[in-house]
Structure 1
């Protein structure tokens, strides 16, 4: 490894499960890249809901992943392991990682990294990988969203939601988004949503039916679960698809599955973090082909809510848990 690099770095771990107060900024040795890996000097790291779940103690890192939190980064390549040749030393990259993002240096498998598009800041690049990988694989790969179809996305002002709205519109879909306030609904509309539903004052099922001339949504991206599952079945079109990516309410509910049969619905779900390097590399290649050009052209862009220094990681998690944010919360090293 390059001798000019420091021996230690600052990094964030959770000491036991609990609230934001269990987060600690500690010193760790700077890791050395192995075969196919690059070492990135981190400029920015996105905060994601799985980070919060890991901190609480309900989402342990997959085998081999570091206990340092953080699933997405942007920064500069400072060292390369054996066989790593895709990115030169000094190249700006953004990357999906299985852990280790809340740190001054982070190991990345080169196949899970992408070049930072021209015109994007490092803060913006650090807010891209986790949400864009997630949206692409669930909305366009598993969910098979096509131009002319209607997407219902719950949590429209979350990092996932803001990304899904922009990408779905860029590829020619109609978008209906749910959010928890009039201000958040306005934010969804500014991002391109055709209809925004305040779930505190409106029934999203009725709103979807009204907006689609009673047809319903062709695809529903849901991170709520719980009581939304049965209502999603009501809101879905005949042969509609529902993709589950989280359970902010509950993962255990009682549902009348006759609706699944009568409407010929397709209800699936997925997680991203446990997937192999090779599986994530396939998603990265699809993003490079279909999405990075949109980012470079400014046709879609990460929405940044808050930027905080690493030392204020507890405050970052508090804002995430408050659900007051619109878009991404980012740590700056």
Structure 2
């Protein structure tokens, strides 16, 4: 389909930090791509926890990256005249809440023909994040792991990868979200219980401790992490939802158990790293998504027009995630045509 490429695009604008209402409708020049980039017409993206933190002023984008929110996309790669070439998806360091974005060509992932672009807008961030952490954990078939925020998009993706690779996944989530998680695992720890009771339950599941903990929580769960890990266990830290400052933190348990503390981020990684991860993901995980063995955990798909009502819809979705009411991905489907 031939399209006339305009010079101006619409995007979600933010000129100050604060609550969801700081998000406004804005316009800017369409990004100019360099020789290593392609211009993408964005059809869908999703609301991610990092978007909430950035909006609040707690998670600034890497140096040189646009202030426009949005860490993933699905849409069309365009030629120099604006003609659609192919359906693609991928992760971004920023810029997903917009009509167009320039993306490194090596980061583009072809969207399988049987996956709608709406759904594809919720694949890249959670599955590339979960797959990277799984690789860092070096888990093997028969091992066990503990997954915090298991009802989140990344949490559900991680549990599904565990099942695919034959790993026992123990899920930590609130009582209200247990029903959603039961499709992935029978080993569930209720976050509403005391830390002591949660640790006791984990030890009932795995008396020798788990081989890895996937931690996006930080301070609140650090004691549970230390006591749940077994000898030579890996603590994969990829978020600090409850903060990173721990008073009188004792390093002795790490030494006694030979615990590996591995800090993992994806947004600020090099272009080469992201390209290699995308290539590995395309070969190893995407076929499993394509054939339906593992799914995109979608809470909702919201169709958004590029007008004030559309911005209000995005504000509503930010509010829903900020209040921790979602279980899975909140996808935004832009109505560009």
- Alpha-carbon deviations, 1:189-228, whole Å to 9, x = none? 11x123111110363211111012x111111001111131
Structure 1 match to 2:315: 314
TM alignment of 1:122-137, pairs within 5 A: 122-137=117-132
Going from structure 1 to structure 2, the CA distance change for 1:297 and 1:269 (only over 3 Å counts) comes to same
TM alignment of 1:138-287, pairs within 5 A: 138-140=133-135, 142-181=136-175, 183-190=176-183, 192-201=184-193, 203-212=197-206, 214-254=207-247, 255-287=249-281
Going from structure 1 to structure 2, the CA distance change for 1:325 and 1:3 (only over 3 Å counts) comes to closer
Q: Is the 8 A contact 1:98 1:274 kept in 2?
A: yes
The total of aligned residue pairs comes to 322
Q: Distance in 2 between matches of 1:267 and 1:59?
A: 22
- Alpha-carbon deviations, 1:307-331, whole Å to 9, x = none? 2224211111111111111111111
Equivalent position to 1:117, from 112, 115, 127: 112
Runs of 4 or more above 3 Å deviation? none
Q: CA deviation at 1:123?
A: 1.7
Q: Is the 8 A contact 1:37 1:80 kept in 2?
A: no
TM-score of the aligned structures, taking structure 2 as reference length: 0.91
- Judge which range, 301-310 or 97-106, deviates more: 301-310
Q: Is the 8 A contact 1:156 1:188 kept in 2?
A: yes
Structure 2 match to 1:291: 285
Q: CA deviation at 1:118?
A: 3.1
3-state SS of paired residue (1:117) = coil
5+ residue gaps, structure 2: 305-309
Structure 2 match to 1:103: 98
Q: Distance in 1 between matches of 2:177 and 2:236?
A: 23
Q: CA RMSD in A?
A: 1.7
Q: Is the 8 A contact 1:42 1:103 kept in 2?
A: yes
Q: Is the 8 A contact 1:174 1:194 kept in 2?
A: no
TM-score of the aligned structures, taking structure 1 as reference length: 0.92
